[in-house]
C-alpha cells in the first residue's frame, strides 16, 4: 500500500470511528456489555461505513479489553464476553 493510500485509509477509519462514536453517545446502552451492547456497536459501525475488516478490528480490540480487564480467575465471564463479541459484534460462530 502506498503512503498516500495508507493516509487515505487512516482518514477513512477516523471518520468511521467518529461517526460511530457520535451515534453511540446518543444511545442509552446498558452498563454491562451484553448482546444488545455489541449489536448496537455493530449497527453504529455499519451505519458509519465500516467494512467487515473494520468490525473485525473492533472485535479484536474488545477481546483485548476483556482479557486486560477481567481477572484470569473469572474465566467463565471472559468466555461469555468472547461469545457475545463473536456472535453479536463480529457475527461469526468461530470462537478461539
- pLDDT digit string, tens, across residues 60-78: 989 988 888 888 888 999 9
pLDDT of residue 30: 65
Q: Distance between CA 36 and CA 72 in Å, rounded?
A: 25
Give domain limits for the chain.
3-89
Task: Kindly tell me if the per-residue pLDDT of 93 is higher than 80.
Answer: no
Grid cell digits, residue 8: 487515505
pLDDT value for 25: 76
Question: 73: alpha, beta or left, given left = phi > 0 and alpha = psi -120 to 50?
Answer: alpha
Amino acid at each position: 500500500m502506498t503512503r498516500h493510500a495508507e493516509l487515505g485509509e487512516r482518514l477513512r477509519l477516523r471518520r468511521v470511528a467518529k461517526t460511530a462514536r457520535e451515534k453511540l453517545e446518543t444511545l442509552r446502552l446498558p452498563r454491562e456489555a451484553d448482546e444488545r451492547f455489541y449489536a448496537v456497536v455493530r449497527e453504529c459501525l455499519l451505519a458509519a461505513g465500516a467494512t467487515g475488516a473494520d468490525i473485525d478490528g473492533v472485535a479484536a480490540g474488545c477481546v483485548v479489553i476483556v482479557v486486560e480487564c477481567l481477572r484470569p480467575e473469572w474465566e467463565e465471564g471472559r468466555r461469555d464476553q468472547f461469545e457475545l463479541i463473536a456472535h453479536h459484534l463480529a457475527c461469526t460462530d468461530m470462537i478461539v
